[in-house]
Structure 1
Amino acid sequence: MNFFERQAQARRNTTRLVVLFALAVVGIVVAVDLGVLLVFGGEPVLLAMSTLLALGVIGIGSLYRVASLRGGGEPIAQQMGGVPVPEDTTDLHLRRLRNVVEEMSIASGVPVPKIYVMEHEAGINAFAAGYSPSDAVIAVTRGALDRLNRDELQGVVAHEYSHILNGDMRLNIRLIGVLFGILMLGLIGRKILQHGGRVRGRGAMPVLVGALIALLVGYVGLFFGRMIKAGVSRSREVLADASAVQFTRQTSGLAGALKKIGGLHDGARLAERADAEEVSHMLFGDGIGLRGLFSTHPPLLQRIQALEPSFKAESLERLKAQWLAVPPNGLDEDLRLGLAGPEHGGLPQASSRLGITPPMVAAQVADPKNDDYRRADAIVSTLPGVVRALAAQRDAAAPLLLGLLLDEDSEIADKQRSEIVARLGVQAASEARRLRDEHLHALHPMLRLPLAALAFPTLRLRPRPELATFLDTVHAMVHTDGRVSLFEYCLGRLLEVQLRETLDPSRYARFGRRKPGGVRQEFATLLAVVAQAGNPANPDEARRAYLAGMQRVLPRDHLPYAPPAEGVLALDAVWGPLDALDPLAKQVAVEAITDAVSHDGRVSVAEAELLRTICGVLHCPLPPMLER
Structure 2
Amino acid sequence: MNFFEHQDQARAQTKRLVFLFGLAVIALIAITSLFTALLIHYTQGAAVPSPEQGYYWHNFFSLLDWHLVLMVSIAVLVLVGLGSLYKLSQLSQGGDAVAQSLNGRLLNVSMCDVKEKRLLNVVEEMAIAAGVPVPPVYLLDEPGINAFAAGYHPKDAVIGVTRGCIEQLSRDELQGVIAHEYSHILHGDMRLNLRLVGVLHGILLIGLVGEILMRSGRRSRKNGGGILLFGLGLLIIGYAGTFFGNLIKSAVSRQREFLADASAVQFTRNPTGISGALKRIGGFPAGSQLEVANAAEYSHFYFANGVTNWLGGMMATHPPLAERIKRIDPRWQGELTPPNAGADDGRDTETTSTQPNQAAAAFAAAGAVAGVAINADSIIAEMGNPAPEALAQAHTTLAQLPASILDATHNTASAMALIYGLLFTEKVADEQRKLLADYAPASVAKLYHQLLPELVGLPVNHRMPIIELCLPALKSLSGEQLKQFQRNLIALIKADQHLSLGEWCVYRMLQHNLFPPKYRSSPAVTLASCAEACRSLLCLMARQGDLAQQQTAYERGLTALDLPHAPLLPEPDSYPVIDRHLAQLRRLKPLQKPQLLKALMLTLQTDGKVQPAEYELLRVIADSLDCPMPILH
Q: TM-score, normalised by structure 2?
A: 0.89
Contact 1:512–1:583 (Cα < 8 Å) also in 2? no
- Structure 1 pair 90/220, CA: closer, same or farther in 2 (3 Å)? closer
Q: Which residue of 1 aligns with 2:55?
A: none
Residue 171 of structure 1 pairs with residue 182 of structure 2:
no
Cα distance in 1 for partners of 2:500, 2:493 equals 9
Once the two structures are aligned, what percentage of the paired residues are identical? 38
Cα distance in 1 for partners of 2:27, 2:382 equals 43
Q: Which residue of 1 aligns with 2:525?
A: 514
Amino acid of the structure 1 residue aligned with 2:324? R
Deviations 1:440-471 (CA, angstroms, capped at 9, x unpaired): 11112221111111111111111111112212
Contact 2:126–2:394 (Cα < 8 Å) also in 1? yes
Contact 2:542–2:551 (Cα < 8 Å) also in 1? yes
Deviations 1:255-306 (CA, angstroms, capped at 9, x unpaired): 0111112222211111x22322211111110112343332222221111011
In the TM superposition, what is the alpha-carbon distance from 1:189 to its structure 2 partner? 1.9
Contact 1:84–1:116 (Cα < 8 Å) also in 2? yes
Matches within 5 A, 1:428-443: 428=444, 431-432=447-448, 435-436=451-452, 438-443=453-458
- Structure 1 pair 560/500, CA: closer, same or farther in 2 (3 Å)? same
Contact 2:109–2:410 (Cα < 8 Å) also in 1? yes
Residue 507 (structure 2) aligned to one of 473, 487, 492: 492
Greater shift, 421-430 or 479-488, is seen at 421-430
Q: Which residue of 1 aligns with 2:50?
A: none
Residue 393 (structure 2) aligned to one of 375, 386, 397: 375
Q: Which residue of 2 aligns with 1:281?
A: 300
Listed as ranges, the gaps of 5+ residues in structure 2 are: 42-63
Cα distance in 2 for partners of 1:77, 1:426 equals 33
Cα distance in 2 for partners of 1:476, 1:512 equals 36
In the TM superposition, what is the alpha-carbon distance from 1:216 to its structure 2 partner? 0.4
Matches within 5 A, 1:539-554: 540-553=548-561
Q: Which residue of 2 aligns with 1:140?
A: 161
- Match of 2:628, SS? coil
- Match of 1:600, SS? coil
Greater shift, 507-516 or 279-288, is seen at 507-516
Residue 227 (structure 2) aligned to one of 207, 231, 248: 207
Contact 1:93–1:331 (Cα < 8 Å) also in 2? no
Larger Rg: 2
In the TM superposition, what is the alpha-carbon distance from 1:613 to its structure 2 partner? 2.3
Greater shift, 511-520 or 61-70, is seen at 511-520
Matches within 5 A, 1:209-608: 209-270=229-290, 272-290=291-309, 291-313=312-334, 315-316=335-336, 319=337, 323=338, 327-328=340-341, 330-332=343-345, 339=351, 342-345=354-357, 346=361, 347-349=364-366, 350-407=368-425, 410-411=427-428, 423-424=439-440, 428=444, 431-432=447-448, 435-436=451-452, 438-478=453-493, 483-501=498-516, 507-508=518-519, 510=521, 513-535=524-546, 538=547, 540-553=548-561, 555-564=562-571, 567-608=574-615
Amino acid of the structure 2 residue aligned with 1:201? R
Amino acid of the structure 2 residue aligned with 1:51? S
Listed as ranges, the gaps of 5+ residues in structure 1 are: none
Contact 1:482–1:569 (Cα < 8 Å) also in 2? no
- Structure 1 pair 547/283, CA: closer, same or farther in 2 (3 Å)? same
Cα distance in 2 for partners of 1:545, 1:338 equals 43
In the TM superposition, what is the alpha-carbon distance from 1:416 to its structure 2 partner? 5.6
In the TM superposition, what is the alpha-carbon distance from 1:566 to its structure 2 partner? 5.8
- Match of 1:297, SS? coil
- Match of 1:273, SS? coil
Amino acid of the structure 2 residue aligned with 1:443? L
In the TM superposition, what is the alpha-carbon distance from 1:46 to its structure 2 partner? 3.0
Contact 2:508–2:620 (Cα < 8 Å) also in 1? no
In the TM superposition, what is the alpha-carbon distance from 1:141 to its structure 2 partner? 1.1
Contact 2:531–2:563 (Cα < 8 Å) also in 1? no
In the TM superposition, what is the alpha-carbon distance from 1:140 to its structure 2 partner? 1.0
Contact 2:7–2:188 (Cα < 8 Å) also in 1? yes
Contact 2:94–2:150 (Cα < 8 Å) also in 1? yes
- Structure 1 pair 48/462, CA: closer, same or farther in 2 (3 Å)? same
Cα distance in 1 for partners of 2:592, 2:350 equals 45
Residue 10 of structure 1 pairs with residue 10 of structure 2:
yes
- Structure 1 pair 511/575, CA: closer, same or farther in 2 (3 Å)? same
Contact 1:482–1:568 (Cα < 8 Å) also in 2? no
Amino acid of the structure 2 residue aligned with 1:387? I
Matches within 5 A, 1:10-89: 10-41=10-41, 42-89=64-111
In the TM superposition, what is the alpha-carbon distance from 1:511 to its structure 2 partner? 7.4
Contact 2:353–2:392 (Cα < 8 Å) also in 1? no
Cα distance in 1 for partners of 2:266, 2:455 equals 34
- Match of 1:127, SS? strand
Q: Which residue of 2 aligns with 1:154?
A: 175
Cα distance in 2 for partners of 1:609, 1:185 equals 52
**RCO higher in 1 or 2 (8 Å CA, sep ≥ 6)?**
1
- Structure 1 pair 512/89, CA: closer, same or farther in 2 (3 Å)? farther
Amino acid of the structure 2 residue aligned with 1:622? M
In the TM superposition, what is the alpha-carbon distance from 1:371 to its structure 2 partner? 1.0
Greater shift, 482-491 or 425-434, is seen at 425-434
The count of corresponding residues between Structure 1 and Structure 2 is 603
Cα distance in 1 for partners of 2:135, 2:40 equals 54
Greater shift, 472-481 or 610-619, is seen at 472-481
In the TM superposition, what is the alpha-carbon distance from 1:31 to its structure 2 partner? 2.3
Contact 1:529–1:563 (Cα < 8 Å) also in 2? no
Greater shift, 230-239 or 474-483, is seen at 474-483
- Structure 1 pair 478/515, CA: closer, same or farther in 2 (3 Å)? farther
Residue 184 of structure 1 pairs with residue 205 of structure 2:
yes
Greater shift, 424-433 or 294-303, is seen at 424-433
Cα distance in 2 for partners of 1:196, 1:95 equals 56
Q: TM-score, normalised by structure 1?
A: 0.90
Cα distance in 1 for partners of 2:576, 2:82 equals 44
- Structure 1 pair 341/458, CA: closer, same or farther in 2 (3 Å)? farther
Amino acid of the structure 2 residue aligned with 1:331? D
Cα distance in 2 for partners of 1:494, 1:82 equals 28
In the TM superposition, what is the alpha-carbon distance from 1:418 to its structure 2 partner? 6.5
Cα distance in 2 for partners of 1:88, 1:494 equals 26
In the TM superposition, what is the alpha-carbon distance from 1:332 to its structure 2 partner? 4.2
Cα distance in 2 for partners of 1:512, 1:367 equals 27
Contact 2:423–2:503 (Cα < 8 Å) also in 1? yes
Matches within 5 A, 1:52-131: 52-119=74-141, 121-131=142-152
- Structure 1 pair 138/500, CA: closer, same or farther in 2 (3 Å)? same
